[in-house]
Amino acid sequence: MKVFRVLKPGLFTTVQDLGRYGHLKYGIPISGAMDTFSFISANLLVANNPNDACLEITLIGSELQALKRTQIAITGGNIPLKINGQNAPMWQTLDVQEGEIVSFEKMESGCRAYISIRGGINAPVVLGSKSTYVRGGFGGLNGRQLKTGDIIEGFDASSLRFRYSMPEELVPQFTGKFTVNVVFGPQADMFPEKSIDTFLSNPYMVTLEADRMGYRLEGSTIEHKDKVDIVSDALLPGAVQIPKNGKPIIIMRDAQTTGGYPKIAVAITPDISLLGQAKPNDGIEFSKITVIEARKRFSEYQKLLNGLGRMLLKSQD
Amino acid sequence: MKSESHMSARHLPFGDTALVVEFGNTISLEINTRVIALSEAVQKAKIEGVEELVPTYRSLLIRYNPLKTSYEQLVFRIKDIEKTLKETATKVESKRITIPVIYGDIYGPDLVHVARFHGLSEKQVVKLHSEKEYRVYMIGFVAGFPYLGEVPDEIATPRLETPRLKVPAGSVGIAEKQTGIYPCEAPGGWQIIGRTPIKLFDPRQQPPALLKPGDTVKFKPVSEKEFKTIEEATLKSVYSSFSEV
């Protein structure tokens, strides 16, 4: 069922769900929405399943024309939007009539926003997921970002009689400054004490080399003990690699599955989601926590995600 | 290279959802064999909370659900499994695959350089490369890319000084003592000596990759005519590289 025609694709817009798991040993990255919290919220605001496919827009939004009456929600980085020229709010259920145009202005904070469609986006399931993996050329819409003229397909779903909205205190604010909690290891022992101090006590800045694969950071140089390379082993999103030049690289969801730079530390799950909203020139500070503390935070984060649906406000206006 | 295998494995945290069991920091058959044996054993043990295993050259990454298990619990279980491995040699299921390759010319633009680098003829390089059986040490870099080892010292060649922005799909390359195959077009710095017409990766297949760690690969030189015939058959899906060759 055709739901939207793409009038303008935006800077980099892809179809994503929560990710493609279980194929790392074949070299296939997890992919999926960069900001999990905002992604799930977008789905819940139109009463979808948390894993239904949405559009992920990056810094510059798309322009979409509705081909049928539908309901959508926009979450993520703060991006003013209009429906047929009228301002419309983020973080709530929105009605869109056939023929109406959804458009966006410049993103004011954060880096990525999500567009959910009532019933979810219909895209082929490749290896268990609808997520686009551009480098591999599969998933989403023919394995690529959206382009002008594309048609977004959806599923038949009844219109909601209620409007859901996110309680204000749960709407994340992205200030351009991120504190990222990390668990040290697996190769933290390749760095002297001095380098660990440097890593933890200095702010780093996201460079222009930042995309769904990873972020190169600028800041104080982190020196290795002696060896600067390792024999390649596995990577997961959140890994902080230190290459020869001593500037950290944070691995994100579309990155290669193995790498030969030592990993000083790995960001915890809730903070990887937060990092999905980091853009060039944003500041990042690393903070060390133990594996035990990290597990506690993971558990709290899951509780928050699982309970999110019940915390939404419901109105009938 | 001297093998630096740890007497006992090291267990290292990888964020809040994974742990790494590290057996050494070199490319060696012994280390990789231990990695794959542990991977198979953990798979079979069906441990609560374990979600995915990623065997590499020298370590096994175990991704887990922290709501169902903990780092400490898992390390304890894994150490137990390691003990049983020492007692019984585990049989690992693996396959042997022959990969047709057209060497040199436009298909292998660096064959000339590799030959010159070692004072060999192109023919000798092809013979040395295709005579040996290689072990799949791991799959990584891009979907389905096999890291194979090890090539004879006589043809081990450093990477290109400036990587290419585009290496065509099917390209067969050498980087030091490793050899590998690009399953799709990608940037890369390996010395490209030939190309295979067969598909190494197909997301519509299960499993999606032709090779897995522990498998054995042998390259078979083919003529341009044979290359084209197999290429056509592959496109029509008549020639299935996913069944044993």
Q: What is the CATH number of domain B96-235?
A: 2.40.100.10
Percent of chain A residues topping a pLDDT of 90: 95
Q: Flag whether pLDDT at B40 surpasses 70.
A: yes
Residues 204 through 243 of chain A touching chain B, CB cutoff 8 Å: 230-234, 236, 238-239
Architecture of domain B5-87: 2-Layer Sandwich (3.30)
Q: Is the pLDDT of residue B237 over 70?
A: no
Q: Are residues A232 and A162 in the same domain?
A: no
Tell me how far apart the alpha carbons of residues A258 and B213 are, in angstroms, rounded to a whole number. Answer: 13
Give the pLDDT score at B205: 85
Calculate the alpha carbon distances from B39 to A204, B58, B79, B139 in Å. 37, 12, 13, 14
Percentage of chain A exceeding pLDDT 70: 100
Select from A166, A200, A220 the last residue of a domain.
A166
Q: What is the pLDDT of residue B244?
A: 42
Q: Is A21 exposed, middle or buried (0-12, 13-18, 19+ CB in 10 A)?
A: middle
What residues contact A304, with CB distance under 8 A and at least 6 apart?
A: A37
Residue A315 lies in a domain: no
Would residue A138 count as lying in a domain?
yes
In this complex, the residue of B25, B54, B201 whose CB is nearest that of residue A231 is B25
Compute CA distances B154 → A133, B125, B149, B150, B158, whole Å: 39, 8, 14, 11, 12
Stretch A262-266: mean pLDDT, rounded?
Answer: 97
Q: What is the pLDDT of residue A200?
A: 98
Q: Which of B3, B16, B17, B39 to mutate to test the interface with A (most CBs of A within 10 A)?
A: B16
- Give the contacts of A56 (CB within 8 A, at least 6 positions apart): A13, A14, A15, A16, A33, A34, A39, A112, A113, A114
Sign of CA dihedral A163, A18, A138, A107: positive
Domain that holds residue A238: 177-303
For residue A14, give the nearest of A103, A114, A153, A126 by alpha carbon: A114
A142 and A16 together in one domain: yes
Within a domain: residue A309? Answer: no
Residue A145 has pLDDT above 80, yes or no: yes
Q: Using 50, 70 and 90 to split pLDDT, how confident is the model at B5?
A: low
Same domain, A181 and A162: no
Intrachain domains B5-87 and B96-235 with the same fold: no
Residues 6+ apart with CB under 8 A from B184: A136, A137, B142, B143, B144, B169, B201
pLDDT for B94 = 83
A298 touches chain B (CB under 8 A): yes
Nearest by CB: B16 against A21, A232, A295: A295
Nearest Cα to A99, choosing from A183, A201, A4? A4
Whether residues A6 and A154 fall in one domain:
yes
- Are A240 and A178 a contacting pair, CB within 8 Å? no
Angstrom CA distances, A239 to A173, B80, B83, stand at 24, 28, 30
Q: Is residue A206 part of a domain?
A: yes
Q: Please indicate, yes or no, whether residues A158 and A220 belong to a single structural domain of this protein.
A: no
* Among A166, A187, A219, residue at a domain's last position: A166
- Which of the pair, A170 or B185, is modelled with greater confidence? A170
**Of the candidates A108, A133, A166, which is a domain's last residue?**
A166
Q: Do A258 and B138 touch (CB under 8 A)?
A: yes
Asked whether the predicted pLDDT for residue B7 surpasses 80, the reply is no
Q: Do residues A106 and A61 share a domain? A: yes
Contacts B18 to A, Cβ<8 Å = 236, 266
Q: Which of A28-32, B6-10, B181-185 has the lowest mean pLDDT?
A: B6-10
Task: Determine the pLDDT at residue B161.
Answer: 84
pLDDT at B83 over 60: yes
DSSP string, A7-52: EE--SS-EEE-S---S-GGGT------SSHHHHHHHHHTTT--TTS
- Which residues 6+ apart lie within 8 Å of B78 measured at CB? B11, B19, B21, B38, B42, B62
Closest Cβ–Cβ partner in A138, A258, A299 for B67: A299
Residue-level pLDDT at B90: 58
Question: pLDDT-based confidence at A237, cuts 50/70/90?
Answer: very high
pLDDT of residue B88: 58
Give the pLDDT mean for B67-92. Answer: 86
CB contact under 8 A, A230 and B67: no
pLDDT tens-digit readout, A128-142: 999 999 988 999 999
Q: Are residues A149 and A95 in the same domain?
A: yes
Write out the H or E segment, with its range, that includes residue B186: strand B186-188
**Do A109 and A248 sit in the same domain of this protein?**
no
Residue A227: closest C-alpha in chain B: B25
Q: What is the pLDDT of residues A1-40, one digit of tens each?
A: 999 999 999 999 999 999 999 999 999 999 999 999 999 9
Which of B14, B147, B208 has its CB closest to that of A236? Answer: B14
CB–CB contact A256 B67 (8 Å): no
In a domain, A258, yes or no: yes
> Is A314 within the bounds of a domain?
no
Mean pLDDT of chain B: 90
CA distance A265 to A222: 13
| B55/A231 touch (CB, cutoff 8 Å), yes or no | no
Do A107 and A153 reside in the same domain of the chain?
yes
Number of domains into which chain A is organized: 2
**Residues of B whose CB is below 8 A from A131:** none
State yes or no: pLDDT of B81 exceeds 70: yes
Q: What's the whole-number average pLDDT of chain A? A: 96
- Among A33, A36, A35, smallest CA distance to A17 is for A33
In this complex, is the C-beta atom of A135 within 8 Å of any C-beta atom belonging to chain B?
Answer: yes
Is the residue at A310 inside a domain? no
Would you state the pLDDT for residue B240? 53
User: What does the pLDDT read at residue B82?
Assistant: 93
In angstroms, the CA A276 to CA A32 distance is 11
Per-domain residue ranges of chain B: 5-87, 96-235
Q: Give A154: exposed, middle or buried? Use CB within 10 Å, 0-12, 13-18, 19+.
A: buried
- C-alpha separations of B240 from A27, B122, B197, B244 in Å: 21, 30, 11, 9
| Domain assignment of residue A311, yes or no | no
Q: What pLDDT does B243 receive?
A: 43
- pLDDT value at A254 more than 90: yes
The count of C-alpha atoms lying within 13 angstroms of the C-alpha of A69, restricted to the half-sphere facing its C-beta, is 5
User: What pLDDT is recorded for position B142?
Assistant: 86
> Which residues are paired to A66 by β-bridges?
A4
Average pLDDT over residues A189-218: 97
